[in-house]
C-alpha cells in the first residue's frame, strides 16, 4: 500500500497551513487556552463555512464534502502542528466517525449535517482502556435513560451532542444525549494540557436515544476508536514536526563559545535521532490513513501500530525540544512546554503505547 499525496491534497495542506498561521499562532493559542470555552466560535464557523473542514470526510449525502481519510489526515496534521484550540477532534474524529460507523441511518441524517456545517459540536464519552464503564442505560417511560459518570470527556462542556457508551445489561450500547437534557451535567476539569479541554459528564436519569440496536454498540465503538487512533496519530505527527522544527531553529541562532550550538556534535546526533523518529512516525500515520481510506482489513493493526509509535515519537521529540532550549526550555515564555503538554495528554487520550502494542500483538494472533 504505497501511496503519495496528490497535487490537490498538497494544495489542501498549503491552504490549511495558511489559515492556521493566521488564526492559530502562538498568541492566539495562549489566549484561547486560558478561556473556559477553549475555542473561538467565529473561527470555528469560518472553518466550516469557508473551508468546509468539519465536513471534509463526511459523505455528501449527510451534508459533508465527501473527501476521505487522506484529506482529513492532512487537516489533522496541520492542526497538530499549530496546536489548534478547537473541538475539531471531538466533533469530527470521535463523534462523526462513531455515527458513520453505526448502522443507524436516521441518526446519521439527524446529526451529521450539523457537525458538517459547524452548527453542532459533538463528542464521544467512552471508557478509556483499563477503566470500567460507569454509565448504565435502563428503559423507562417508553424510552431509555442514562445514569452514571463519564470522566474526562473531550470538549463535553461545549458540546451540543454527546454520544455516550453505556451498559444496557445485554451489552454495550451507544446513546445520543443532547445538551440541555434534564439530568445531564458537565463540569470542566483543570488539566495539564490547557489547549485541549476535558470535562466530566454526570448523568442522572437523562433521556437518551439509542444509536443503532441497544446492546450491540461494541463493534461500532471499536471501529470508531480505531479510526480515532488514526486521526490522533496524524495530529501527533504534526505536533512532533513542529517541536523538531522549533528546536532546530533555536540551535541555528543560539550561539555558545563563538558558534551556533547546532554545530556541536552531540546536539547534531540528538536532532538526527529526533528526525528519524518523526519521519518513521509519519510513515506509520500515513499507512494507517490509507488503510482507513481503503477500509482495509489491516486497519485495526495499522491503527494501533500508528497510535503506539506516533505517541512515543511526539513525547520524545517534544521532550527533546525542551532539552535543545536548555534552561529556557522550561520557562512559560518559550512555547516548548505547550507541545510537551499536548504530547503527554495525547498519550493518555486513547490508551497508552503499551496498550496499543498489546493490541497489535493480539490482532496479529500472538
Q: What is the CATH number of the domain that holds 33?
A: 1.10.540.10
Q: Is residue 1 part of a domain?
A: no
Q: Which of the listed residues 195, 214, 233 is the one where a domain comes to its end?
A: 214
C-alpha cell recorded at residue 133: 464503564
User: What pLDDT digit, counting tens, does each position of 187-240 carry?
Assistant: 999 999 999 999 999 999 999 999 999 989 999 999 999 999 999 999 999 999
Whether 196 and 246 map to the same domain: the answer is no
pLDDT at 1 over 70: no
Structural domain for 232, as ranges: 219-363
Which of 67, 87, 116 represents a domain boundary (last residue)?
116
Q: Name which of 149, 127, 187 is nearest 355 in CA terms.
A: 127
Residues 297 and 316 in one domain: yes
Which residue has cell 483499563?
130
Does the pLDDT value for residue 266 go beyond 90?
A: no
Which CATH number covers residue 183?
A: 2.40.110.10
CA angle 164, 158, 74 (to 5 degrees): 85
Considering the domain architecture, whether residues 161 and 143 belong to the same structural domain is answered as yes
With respect to residue 329, please indicate whether it lies within any of the assigned structural domains: yes
Mean pLDDT computed over every residue of the chain: 95
Is the distance from CB of 155 to CB of 90 less than 8 angstroms? yes
Say what the pLDDT of residue 147 is.
Answer: 98
Q: Give the pairing of strands 161-167 and 122-125.
A: parallel
Q: At what angle do helices 218-253 and 299-324 cross, to 10 degrees?
A: 30
Dist CA 340 CA 350 (whole Å): 17
Q: In the prediction, which pLDDT does 36 show?
A: 96
Instruction: State the chain's maximal CA–CA distance in angstroms.
Output: 78
Question: What is the count of structural domains for the chain?
Answer: 3
CB 335: neighbour CB atoms within 10 A? Answer: 17
| Closest residue by Cα to residue 118 from 178, 43, 177 | 43
What is the structure's pLDDT at 239?
98
> 131: exposed, middle or buried (C-beta count within 10 Å: 0-12, 13-18, 19+)?
exposed
Contacts made by residues 134-143, CB under 8 angstroms, sequence distance 24+: 135/164, 135/165, 135/166, 135/167, 135/203, 136/166, 136/167, 136/168, 136/169, 137/166, 137/167, 137/168, 137/169, 137/173, 137/175, 137/208, 137/214, 138/169, 140/205, 143/207, 143/208, 143/209
Predicted confidence band of residue 256 (pLDDT cuts 50, 70, 90): confident
The stretch 342-363 carries a mean pLDDT of 96
Residues 209, 170 within the same domain? yes
243 and 331 in a single domain? The answer is yes
**Are residues 279 and 356 located together in one domain of the fold?**
yes
Specify the pLDDT at position 306.
98
Q: Which three cell numbers stand for residue 97?
A: 466517525
Q: What is the mean pLDDT of residues 263-269?
A: 85
Residue 2: inside a domain: no
Residues 41, 83 share a domain? yes
Amino acid at each position: 500500500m504505497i501511496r503519495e499525496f496528490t497535487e490537490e491534497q498538497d494544495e489542501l495542506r498549503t491552504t490549511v497551513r495558511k489559515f492556521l498561521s493566521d488564526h492559530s499562532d502562538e498568541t492566539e493559542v495562549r489566549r484561547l487556552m486560558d478561556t473556559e470555552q477553549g475555542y473561538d466560535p467565529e473561527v470555528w464557523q469560518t472553518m466550516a463555512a469557508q473551508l468546509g473542514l468539519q465536513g471534509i470526510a463526511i459523505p455528501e449525502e449527510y451534508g459533508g464534502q465527501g473527501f476521505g481519510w487522506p484529506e482529513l489526515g492532512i487537516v489533522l496534521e496541520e492542526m497538530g502542528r499549530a496546536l489548534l484550540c478547537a473541538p475539531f477532534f471531538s466533533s469530527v474524529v470521535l463523534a462523526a466517525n462513531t455515527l458513520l460507523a453505526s448502522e443507524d441511518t436516521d441518526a446519521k441524517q439527524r446529526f451529521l449535517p450539523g457537525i458538517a456545517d459547524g452548527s453542532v459540536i459533538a463528542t464521544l464519552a467512552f471508557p478509556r482502556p483499563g477503566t470500567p464503564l460507569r454509565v448504565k442505560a435502563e428503559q423507562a417511560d417508553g424510552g431509555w435513560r442514562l445514569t452514571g459518570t463519564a470522566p474526562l470527556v473531550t470538549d463535553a462542556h461545549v458540546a451540543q451532542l454527546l454520544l455516550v457508551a453505556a451498559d444496557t445489561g445485554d451489552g454495550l450500547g451507544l446513546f445520543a444525549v443532547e445538551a440541555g437534557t434534564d439530568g445531564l451535567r458537565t463540569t470542566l476539569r483543570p488539566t495539564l494540557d490547557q489547549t485541549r479541554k476535558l470535562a466530566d459528564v454526570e448523568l442522572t436519569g437523562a433521556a437518551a436515544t439509542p444509536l443503532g440496536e441497544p446492546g450491540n454498540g461494541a463493534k461500532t465503538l471499536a471501529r470508531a476508536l480505531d479510526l480515532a487512533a488514526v486521526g490522533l496519530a496524524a495530529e501527533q505527527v504534526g505536533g512532533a514536526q513542529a517541536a523538531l522544527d522549533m528546536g532546530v531553529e533555536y540551535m541555528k541562532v543560539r550561539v555558545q563559545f563563538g558558534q551556533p550550538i547546532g554545530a556541536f556534535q552531540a546536539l547534531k546526533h540528538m536532532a538526527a535521532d529526533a528526525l528519524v523518529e518523526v519521519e518513521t512516525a509519519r510513515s506509520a500515520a500515513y499507512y494507517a490513513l490509507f488503510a482507513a481510506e481503503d477500509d482495509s482489513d489491516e486497519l485495526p493493526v495499522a491503527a494501533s501500530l500508528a497510535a503506539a509509535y506516533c505517541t512515543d515519537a511526539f513525547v520524545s521529540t517534544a521532550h527533546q525540544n525542551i532539552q535543545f532550549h536548555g534552561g529556557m526550555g522550561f520557562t512559560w515564555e518559550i512555547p516548548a512546554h505547550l507541545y510537551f503538554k499536548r504530547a503527554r495528554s495525547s498519550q493518555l487520550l486513547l490508551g497508552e503505547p503499551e496498550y496499543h502494542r498489546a493490541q497489535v500483538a493480539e490482532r496479529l494472533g500472538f
